[in-house]
Structure 1
């Protein structure tokens, strides 16, 4: 949709034009005429282009980076329109729209821990090789794999996968906030295609261009991709060795400190919240009254740590060390890095978080969310997986239960609802 102060070459002004506008229009018409006469491409502002015109014009940019016409044509064969669902996804990111406890409940829970332990058994030898080569501990690699694709399970759900060239072209064409990012990632994608790293029919991933088991964006793939299985291709889509090694290589390249923790959960002393965002050595934090919930001492008292209170002054505190910020190089979100750290701790056999999040009164813990889904499943209302994630299917089941038993039908979870579900047959 054009703004009221713009013009198309064949349209009319929606407001009275000025002499300056007439001159600009005349220049545009002359340039278009000259371009058509000489057969040369003319740069047209993206807001005046159709999607196919955008694809045609973007080839000029790709060609400057060494992309051949054959590669370009193959990558966009059959692509004629943007994907509207991409823009819907771009408007919603859980790291910025979800409370920290709900975010963690969906990612650090009994299922993700149990599945991770199974994967540790299946891929134990590979994980040991990756750890020895890159210096990144196996539980950390497993936690990233879980966070990104639920240990590869997400790659089996084709309805949630997008063809990467079309997805990035959609963002480059229609998402003003991500145009610069999308253009650079689209060029990198074409370089991947040209290098023959993956076949076009397998070049799928997230709406934002993240690919493979460990969800690498194209530029990061080019920078950190590893051929761990030695077949001559860096195949993070089909080769678990390549995918896990690539994740480890990113962390190592960003100065992962082998054998060091990502951080510590801490009990914040009275008025200690005033220091959030400050950086001190662990020895200094200790002198100020900060301690671990179980009283065990900090390791490496000379190490510097930043105080993070991700749920506000009334929530638990965390002293974040260097490795926490390395995890943020994978995904620049405090939520994400904390989830990886907490999951990795449990996969390594360490304790869960000791302190409670400041959940609203009546809300459910992660274990109670699992229980609610399990009970609804037993009673015939829920048909999805028991994973602690209260999504559309869970809410549909809750509404059906509420309607059956004469309750207010709102699809919302609460401790009161759980008590009713426990009692009803």
Structure 2
């Protein structure tokens, strides 16, 4: 589960850490994924390294009071070193924001679809067992695997303990990473992996489907019955099952599509869009909303990620379960579209306004600043067009008498510039 884009912030960041696992002999588990060489830790300044080691000594009492044994703490933290690379990545600013159509093109690309279809055949028996156990669409599980690690090809090779220790000590979100570090230590204590075999991305996401340590403690399962919840090895069994368990616990409803592409009628009021504005399928149908593929509409809300000029989607409770895994509409749409394509369905039928382009990060910040000046209070300008900004855009559009589709484009920016 990744995103700088931090995986945790787009999935269940507030998952409570389970009760401390029972202790296992330190070093009793062989390094998972033997043969994988961890990424080297760059040389840090003496001051940074000394600061981290001092912090590790001070953090020991907190970890122990949280249920980590002294022996596990001392053994695991013995490999911790200050990693300046993770700090650089944590503080990196995105150079550009991709428009939604480019994101979805990549998410459900032809190459990823082809690879996913092949692997769905290879693991058909396992996927059917997982679907039968948890009731989660096997193609959704496959799509998350593809989105998170390119079907296991990019699981990350950074040692998790040094990365989390560095971020907890010197990062922008120290408390959050402190909690992740304690969770990682509890995973080691449970005997699922040893410190050197716990590898993943720079921010602590691990395995085929990129679980943060707290999410692992809450949802990971030992599906193959070997006594370990192993998400680090080349075998994806436990990772795929754990992903299904996560979605099931997040409210997944068996047999319900996460996303249905819809055609909106002429004159549709875009002020109704938004995933939280849920209506029954029959209520939407009464307004003239129709599924592109002709199916009956389920209950849900309608989103139009590129405004009235782009395609529209009815999103259901299962879309919200995907957002629990990664709190991003684009991500959840990407998973649903990739799953549909892997299962043999089509891609998105509607057309995006590609020729018009999209706003740059700086232009999106300008939209937010100008909305704030007009009293819409959309929050600190950060270039991320979230719910507050969309609500502000809609309110502004109503005020000036244009369709309130909530979409930030060059037309909207010009309208704001003319009034501020």
Q: Same fold by TM-score, threshold 0.5 exceeded? A: yes
Aligned partner (choices 139, 144, 163) of residue 167 of structure 1 = 163
1:293 deviates by 3.1
Aligned partner (choices 304, 317, 320) of residue 322 of structure 1 = 317
Q: Secondary structure of 1:306's partner? A: strand
Which structure 2 residues correspond to residues 118-267 of structure 1 after superposition, within 5 A?
A: 118-155=118-155, 160-176=156-172, 178-238=173-233, 239-267=235-263
2:118 & 2:68 partners in 1: Cα distance? Answer: 42
**1:238-296 deviations in whole A, cap 9, x for unaligned?**
131111110010111112111110021122333432211222112111112222235x1
Q: Secondary structure of 1:265's partner? A: strand
1:322 & 1:96 partners in 2: Cα distance? Answer: 31
2:153 & 2:251 partners in 1: Cα distance? Answer: 29
Q: Is the 8 A contact 2:80 2:165 kept in 1?
A: no
Q: Does 1:274 align with 2:275?
A: no
Q: Secondary structure of 1:313's partner? A: helix
Identify unmatched segments of 5+ residues in structure 1: 1-46, 364-425
Q: What does residue 85 of structure 1 align with?
A: 85
1:208 deviates by 1.7
1:166 deviates by 1.4
Of 344-353 and 114-123, deviating more is: 344-353
1:232 deviates by 0.5
2:183 & 2:78 partners in 1: Cα distance? Answer: 18
Q: What does residue 288 of structure 2 align with?
A: 289
1:361 deviates by 5.0
1:73 deviates by 2.0
Q: What does residue 76 of structure 1 align with?
A: 77
Structure 1 residues 108, 179: closer, same or farther in 2, change over 3 A? Answer: same
TM-score normalised by length of structure 2: 0.69
Q: Is the 8 A contact 2:209 2:243 kept in 1?
A: yes
1:315 deviates by 2.0
Structure 1 residues 127, 207: closer, same or farther in 2, change over 3 A? Answer: same
| RMSD, aligned α-carbons | 2.2
TM-score normalised by length of structure 1: 0.68
Q: Secondary structure of 2:107's partner? A: coil
1:96 & 1:124 partners in 2: Cα distance? Answer: 39
Number of equivalent positions: 306
Q: Is the 8 A contact 2:282 2:297 kept in 1?
A: no
Structure 1 residues 74, 143: closer, same or farther in 2, change over 3 A? Answer: same
1:299 deviates by 4.1
1:103 & 1:67 partners in 2: Cα distance? Answer: 41
Q: What does residue 33 of structure 1 align with?
A: none
**1:60-89 deviations in whole A, cap 9, x for unaligned?**
1101012122212221224332x2221332
Of 278-287 and 137-146, deviating more is: 278-287
Structure 1 residues 241, 96: closer, same or farther in 2, change over 3 A? Answer: farther
Q: What does residue 110 of structure 1 align with?
A: 110
Q: Is the 8 A contact 1:94 1:103 kept in 2?
A: no
**Highest RCO, 1 vs 2 (Cα 8 Å, sep ≥ 6):** 2
1:321 & 1:94 partners in 2: Cα distance? Answer: 30
Structure 1 residues 149, 329: closer, same or farther in 2, change over 3 A? Answer: same
Q: Is the 8 A contact 2:81 2:162 kept in 1?
A: no
Q: Secondary structure of 2:320's partner? A: helix
Structure 1 residues 212, 190: closer, same or farther in 2, change over 3 A? Answer: same
1:104 deviates by 1.6
Structure 1 residues 93, 309: closer, same or farther in 2, change over 3 A? Answer: farther
2:94 & 2:334 partners in 1: Cα distance? Answer: 13
1:94 deviates by 7.3
Q: What does residue 363 of structure 2 align with?
A: none
**1:320-354 deviations in whole A, cap 9, x for unaligned?**
10000001111111111110001111112222110
Q: What does residue 339 of structure 2 align with?
A: 344
1:199 deviates by 2.3
Structure 1 residues 312, 180: closer, same or farther in 2, change over 3 A? Answer: farther
Structure 1 residues 362, 299: closer, same or farther in 2, change over 3 A? Answer: closer
Q: Does 1:58 align with 2:59?
A: yes
